[in-house]
Structure 1
Amino acid sequence: MAKKKITNNGDAVQLENEKTRKLEAFVADGPGEKLTTNHGVKINDDQNSLKAGDRGASLLEDFILREKITHFDHERIPERVVHARGSGAHGVFKVYEDLSDLTRAAFLCDPGIETPVFVRFSTVAGSRGSTDLARDVRGFAVKFYTQEGNFDLVGNNMPVFFIQDAIKFPDLVHAVKPEPDNEIPQAASAHDTFWDFISQLPESSHMIMWLMSDRALPRSYRMMEGFGVHTFRLINAKGESNFVKFHWKPLLGVHSVAWDEAQNISGKDPDFHRRDLWDAIEAGAFPEWELGVQIVPEEDEFKFDFDLLDPTKIIPEELVPVQRIGKMTLNRNPDNFFAETEQVAFHIGHVVPGIDFTNDPLLQGRLFSYTDTQLIRLGGPNFHEIPINRPVVPVNNNQRDGYMRQTINRGKTSYGPNGIASNMPQQTTAADGGFVSYNERIDARKVRARSRSFFDHFSQARLFLNSQSEAEKNHLIDAFSFELGKVKMIPIRQRMLGLLAKVDKALAAAVAYALGLHVQDIPMEELNNSVPADANIDDYTPIQKEGSIAISAPLSMANTVKDTISTRKIAILAADGVSGKALNNVKDALVAKGAIVHIIAPKLGEIISEEDQKIQVDESFLTAASVLYDAVYLPGGINSSATLEADANAVHFLNEAFKHCKAIAADESAMQVLEATYFYKKLPADYTEETVLKEGILVTDTVSKIMTLFERMIAAHRFWDREVPRKIPA
C-alpha cells in the first residue's frame, strides 16, 4: 500500500503518505493466509458442500455454503447510471506557491504539503462492459484528501456541457443511453433518440462540436485535459471572492486516435485506456498534470460577451490566461479494483473552506444528484465510511445509524445542543477553519426561467470550429456524417442540419452532402424547447464586448505539447535474419528516451539475427495490431525483409499504420517490404528533413539519421496531412 518511486538504479523504494497509511488497516493480503469465513472461522473444506451422504441433498445448516453463495449473489453493486466504466489510480498533489491571497484552502496555500489524491477516469454513456474507445466524453474526477476534509474536483475532459440547467440532465442521459425498446446501441451516441434530443436543444451546439471532435477519442487518459466545467469561487481569509475555472494540463500533451483506429482498437483491446494507465504506473512512468486556474475578479463578472455561470461556455485563454498553480502525479495503482475504483464516491458538493459554489444552474442541481446517487449505489448513508472515501482527518458529528455503519461511537448523546456531553462535538468558527458559505447577496423572485445572457448558443460553437486545424475540421465533418448517417428518421437529420447551419453554413453543407440532403433553414422556435415560448431568441445575438475573439489556439490539439516520446509505444517489425545491430541500436535509443518498444515477428519466441544473436519477440502478428502502437520501425536484413514482404499480416500492419498517419521509419535494405505496401508509390522522392517531418516517412541507411529524425516524428504524434489525398485500403 505504498506509492513507488523509481530511482536511478531502477530499484523501487517505498514512500508513504497519510492516506496510504489509513488505508493500510483495511488491506488483506491473500497469499499465505488460512481460508476463513467472513467472521474469521477457519474452513476445513471449501470444495464440497455439506450433504446428507455423498449423493444426498445439501443441508441448510451449511453456514459456509450459505455465506459464500449469499456474498456472491450480492457482490455486484448497481453500476453508475453514467460514468459506469472507469479506471482509477492513487497519487499526490503539490501546489507551487502560496495562494492565500486567493483562497484559504490550506492545500493550496502551503507548497510544503503533499496532498494524497485518488483519480477516476471514465467514459460516460456506456456500461461497465463497454469499450474504452467509444466516441464519448471522458470523466476526470479527482478526490483530494486534504487536512481540512475531502475536496472532490469532479470534471470531464471537455470544458463545457450539453445543457444549461440540471433539470434537463435526466433527459440527456435517457436520450444518449441505449434506446429503451431494444437496449441498442451500447456506448454510442449514433442513434435516433440522442440526435432527436440534441437537434431540438440549441444550447448543446457548443458541446456537440467537442463531442464530434478528436477530443472524444483520446490516445490515453494520460494525454487528455481535464476541466472542472463549472465556474466556482475561491474565497480568501478576508472573505474576498474571485471566480475560478479549473483546468488539468497533461505534461505529455493532448493527443487523440483516429476514428477508424478507435473502432479497430475496440475490437483488438477494449481495455486499451485502462491497460495504458495501469502499465505506465507499474513501469514507473508516472502520469502528470498541472492544475491550472482562470481567475476572474468579482468586479469583472459581466465584462464578457457570455455568462460566467453558463456551463455551455468557456473563458477563452486569450482573455483570461490559465495560471498553472501545482502538479498532480499518479504513482500507485489500486490494490483492488472493486474496493477502490468501483466504490469511490465523488460528489461535487465536497468542498473545503476557501472553495465555494456559484449559481450555475447545472452545478446547483448536481449538488443534490451526487449524494442521492451514492445512497442507492453504495447501500445507504454511510458510503463515506468505505476506506477509499474516508477523509484523512477525524469525522465527528451526531450521525450514528444506517446501513453498513462501520464506526462504533461511544457515549450517550447523538444530538446537539446537549448538556450531557458538554455540547460536544462543537461547531468551529471561521477563524479556526470552519466552513462558511460566501456571503452573496440574493434579492430576487422565484421563477422558472433563464437569464437572457444564456441565450447565445452558437458563438462559442463557431469559435471552437474556427479554431480547429484543417485535419480536425475534416474529422468533425466525418464524425457528424457518421453519427447522423446512423439516424434512421430523416426529419431528425434535417433538423440537425438546420442547427449546424446556425453554427457554420459550410459545415452544414459538407455534412448534408454526405447524407444526401439539403440544408433547410429552421426557425429557432422549432429548435428550442428549453426556454419559454415568449423568450423570442430567434434573432438574439450577444453584445460584442471588448476582448471578443474569433479563434482560440488552445482549442486545437495541433497546438499541444509535441516535445517528448516518453511512454509512446513503438513497434519494430522483424524476422529471422534481421540486422541485430540496427534493431538493438534503434531500440536502445528509443528506450533511453522513455519509449516502450515491442519487437513483433511472424511467430512468438525468439528470432535469430544475421549476426546469430537470439532476440526475444514480444508479440506476433496474430496478437499485435498497428492500432495499438504509435509508430513503426523496419530494420534491415535480407532474410528478414524477404520474410516480411511475403507475410500479409506484416504488410497490412504497415498499410494500417500509414492509413492512421503514424510515423514510419525503415532501413534502405528493407525497401522490398515497403514496395509490397499500398503506399510505396506515394513515398517522397527524396528524404530531406523538411519532407520527413511533413510526411512522417523516413527511409535511410544510417541509424544515426533514423534517431535524429524518428524521435521528432514520433513526438509529432500524427501526420494528418497524409490523410485526405492518400487514403489507402487497410
Structure 2
Amino acid sequence: MTQLPTGTVTLASIVEAMKAIAGSPPRARASFAKGRCVHGTYAASDRAEEITKSRSFTRPSRVLARFSLGGDREVANTDRVLRGFSFRLGGDQHRSDLLMQSAPVHFARTLDQMLAFPKARVSGPDGKPDMEEIRAFSAANPETLRQANYIAAPPLDLGFAGTTYWGVHCFPATNLKGETRFIKFKVVPVGADVAPTQKADVKSADFLLHDLENRITAGDVRFSVTALLDRPGDPTMDVTSRWSDEDSREAVRLGTIVITGVEAEDACDAAVFNPANLADGIGHPPDEIFAARRAAYAIAQATRR
C-alpha cells in the first residue's frame, strides 16, 4: 500500500493550504466549492465486461453527480479554471465514486508539491499572491504547470455539457476472466450541439451553471464513460504525465450517463464523493497522490460539519 505523508507534510496541512487559497471560509469545500448537484441514469455498454467485472460499470443504475468549478464559491464561470464532474454509480453493495476533471493531468506529482503549490498561491496582506514566489516554485517544479497550460488552451465557450473530463489516475481493472490491466477513465460529451451560443465577454458570472440547468431541462446532457487501455511502458505513478498518444489510442465505451434533473446541493454534500469507493473489479491506483486524496476527503468533510 502507498505510504501516506509523514513529517512536515500531513494530509491536514494539505487540506488547510487548499482552503487558505479561498480565504478559509467556514464549512466550505477545500476546492470546487461552486457547483451544481444533479441526478440521472447510467446504462452499461455490451463491452463493459471485457474491461471490468465491477457491477458499478456493468449494470444499469441511478446516478448522483456534481458539476463544479475549481476554486472558491466566488469564482466566475468565465474564468479559465479547472472544471470537475464527480459521479456515483451502482447501488449500496457495488458503489463506485469517480472524481473527474477537465484536464488529463493533476497539478502535483508528489505530496510535497501538493502542499507547496497552494501555499505559494495564498494571498498576502495586500490581498494578492506573491507572483515572485509562484514563479520560483514553478521554475523548480515545471511539471506543476502542465495542468494550468492545458486549461489555458481550450476555448471559453464550452459549457459543462460540452466538456471532456478525465480521471488522472491509472486504475487497475479486472474483468470476468480474471485479467487485470491499467485503464484511465475518460468521460466524453455526447451530441453535436454542446457549446453555449453566447460570447464569453457577455456571459454572467453564473453562466455555466445556468447553461447546464437549461440543457438538463431540454434533455440533452449525456456522456460516454470510456476506458483508455494501457500499453507496455505506460507510466502509472506520475499523475502529472499523460500516456503517449493518449488522445488517439484505443478506448472502450463502458456505458452512458444521462443527466435528467437538478438536485438540492445538500444531496451531494450528504453523499460525499469519496475516491476510495470503488466496487470490486476496479482497484485503487498505486500512486501516492491517490492514497493522499482518498484519505484527505475524510478530513475535508469533517471540517465542513
TM-score above 0.5, yes or no? yes
More strand by share: 2
Please report how far the alpha carbon of residue 167 of structure 1 lies from its aligned counterpart in structure 2 after TM superposition.
3.4
Aligned residue number for residue 324 of structure 1? 253
Aligned residue number for residue 208 of structure 2? 273
Is 1:356 the counterpart of 2:283? The answer is yes
1:86 to 12, 32, 35: 35
Contact 1:244–1:295 (CA under 8 A) maintained in structure 2: yes
**Separation in structure 1 between the aligned mates of residue 194 and residue 241 of structure 2, nearest angstrom:** 23
**Separation in structure 1 between the aligned mates of residue 181 and residue 290 of structure 2, nearest angstrom:** 17
2:242 to 296, 309, 314: 314
1:49-85 CA distances to partner (integer Å, 9 max, x unpaired)?
A: xxxxxxxxxxxxxxxxxxxxxxxxxxx9611111111
**Separation in structure 2 between the aligned mates of residue 198 and residue 363 of structure 1, nearest angstrom:** 22
Please report how far the alpha carbon of residue 275 of structure 1 lies from its aligned counterpart in structure 2 after TM superposition.
0.6
Query: Counterpart of 1:280 in 2: which secondary structure?
Result: helix
Contact 1:301–1:308 (CA under 8 A) maintained in structure 2: no
Residue pairs, 1:23-102, within 5 angstroms: 78-102=27-51
**Separation in structure 1 between the aligned mates of residue 174 and residue 295 of structure 2, nearest angstrom:** 22
Please report how far the alpha carbon of residue 200 of structure 1 lies from its aligned counterpart in structure 2 after TM superposition.
2.5
1:515-539 CA distances to partner (integer Å, 9 max, x unpaired)?
A: xxxxxxxxxxxxxxxxxxxxxxxxx
Aligned residue number for residue 50 of structure 1? none
Residue pairs, 1:213-362, within 5 angstroms: 213-214=153-154, 217-252=156-191, 262=200, 264-265=202-203, 269-282=204-217, 284-296=218-230, 300-302=231-233, 304=234, 307-315=235-243, 316-317=245-246, 320-334=249-263, 336-337=264-265, 339-362=266-289
More helix by share: 1
1:246-299 CA distances to partner (integer Å, 9 max, x unpaired)?
A: 001101359778xxx54542xxx11101111112222x3230111111122xxx
TM-score (structure 2 length as normaliser):
0.81
CA change 1:85–1:343 in 2 (3 A) is farther
Runs of 5+ unmatched residues, structure 1: 1-75, 380-730
1:204 to 140, 144, 168: 144
Contact 1:249–1:290 (CA under 8 A) maintained in structure 2: yes
CA change 1:184–1:252 in 2 (3 A) is farther
CA change 1:218–1:192 in 2 (3 A) is farther
Aligned residue number for residue 570 of structure 1? none
Contact 2:157–2:200 (CA under 8 A) maintained in structure 1: no
1:492-524 CA distances to partner (integer Å, 9 max, x unpaired)?
A: xxxxxxxxxxxxxxxxxxxxxxxxxxxxxxxxx
Query: Counterpart of 1:107 in 2: which secondary structure?
Result: helix
Query: Counterpart of 1:158 in 2: which secondary structure?
Result: coil
Residue pairs, 1:400-439, within 5 angstroms: none
Amino acid aligned to 2:128 = I
TM-score (structure 1 length as normaliser):
0.36
Aligned residue number for residue 130 of structure 1? 75
Structure with higher RCO (Cα < 8 A, 6+ apart): 2
Identity within the alignment, %: 21
Aligned residue number for residue 115 of structure 1? 61
Aligned residue number for residue 150 of structure 1? 95
Contact 2:53–2:281 (CA under 8 A) maintained in structure 1: yes
Contact 2:60–2:90 (CA under 8 A) maintained in structure 1: no
Query: Counterpart of 1:199 in 2: which secondary structure?
Result: helix
Is 1:105 the counterpart of 2:34? The answer is no
1:637-687 CA distances to partner (integer Å, 9 max, x unpaired)?
A: xxxxxxxxxxxxxxxxxxxxxxxxxxxxxxxxxxxxxxxxxxxxxxxxxxx
CA change 1:243–1:376 in 2 (3 A) is same
CA change 1:255–1:309 in 2 (3 A) is farther
**Separation in structure 1 between the aligned mates of residue 64 and residue 93 of structure 2, nearest angstrom:** 16
Q: Give the number of the structure whose alpha-carbon radius of gyration is greater.
A: 1
What CA RMSD, in Å, does the superposition of the two structures yield over aligned residues?
2.8
Please report how far the alpha carbon of residue 317 of structure 1 lies from its aligned counterpart in structure 2 after TM superposition.
3.6
Contact 1:230–1:363 (CA under 8 A) maintained in structure 2: yes
